[in-house]
Amino acid sequence: MPNILQIKAGDLNSVLKAKSPYIVLCSCNNINERNLNTLANQLLFDNELEAFEARKKLSAKKEYITSRFLIKTIISHHFNISYHTIRLCFNHNLKKLQAIVNNQPLPISISLAHSKGMVFFVINEENVLLGVDVEYQDSDRDITAVSESYFHPSETKSLTKNDHTRFYQLWTLKESLAKATGQSIFELLGQNTIQIIKNFHYQLGLHDGFQYAVLQNRKVLPSSGYLLNLESALLHYAE
């Protein structure tokens, strides 16, 4: 039986009052396309604007703005620093997202994932091995063909024909482990994930058709995270 991570509705104030690690799930599908560029100019650093503009898909632009806005807002509150002094950069050598202030990375861990307009992330004030993933649970996907082609034989054997929940639990754990360890997902797909993650704390959950997972190497995770309303969070920022 997996460790369950509950997601409860809350506002940004609830998240800011919580203790690290901060766990957030948020849909960005309702962002008005006409407001995207204005939001980007208000909320993104120069390097982030370049990354935003490089994204061609509308959904990717929405996910990018949402993740950067929420992550930087939480970090700003946690460290009591100005939102506009924080820039988020992906360190390709370390294979992780970092928060940079005055050209120095903050001593925190961030992991981020998104799927079909759903953004999921965790921020830990400690420097830990941390990984998250979120995937839309597609009930029409041929999980037997995928698992037989890519999964470890014992994992394939454990799946029944239509056990999409179990399939996506394994998939999100593999993606989370890849992010936490800096390995390629292709290195991990064929390995026995349940055996590998015995040295990690992990939790799983399902919300509105989206399967999510969070995994880290130290400290037991909280039992719940927050589902945020983006419009309300943006109003909080405007105040």
145 located within any domain: yes
Half-sphere exposure of 238 (CA within 13 A, CB side): 7
CB 147 within 8 A of CB 155: yes
Domain count of the fold of the chain: 1
1 located within any domain: no
The pTM assigned to this predicted structure is 0.95
Q: What is the pLDDT of residue 137?
A: 96
> Nearest to residue 143, comparing CAs of 115, 184, 176, 171?
171
pLDDT digits (tens, 9 = 90+) for 172-218: 999 999 999 999 999 889 999 989 998 899 999 999 999 999 999 97
Question: In the predicted model, is pLDDT for residue 239 greater than 80?
Answer: no
198 located within any domain: yes
130 located within any domain: yes
In CATH, what number is assigned to the domain containing residue 222? 3.90.470.20
The DSSP code for 209 is T
Residues 6+ apart with CB under 8 A from 52: 40, 44, 61, 64, 65
173 located within any domain: yes
> Nearest to residue 214, comparing CAs of 118, 115, 116, 113?
113
Place of tokens 């506002």: 11
54 located within any domain: yes
The DSSP code for 56 is -
Q: What is the pLDDT of residue 50?
A: 95
pLDDT digits (tens, 9 = 90+) for 84-131: 999 999 999 999 999 999 999 999 999 999 999 999 999 998 889 999
CA torsion sign for 182, 24, 46, 102 is negative
Domain range enclosing 31: 6-238
End-to-end CA distance of the chain: 44
111 located within any domain: yes
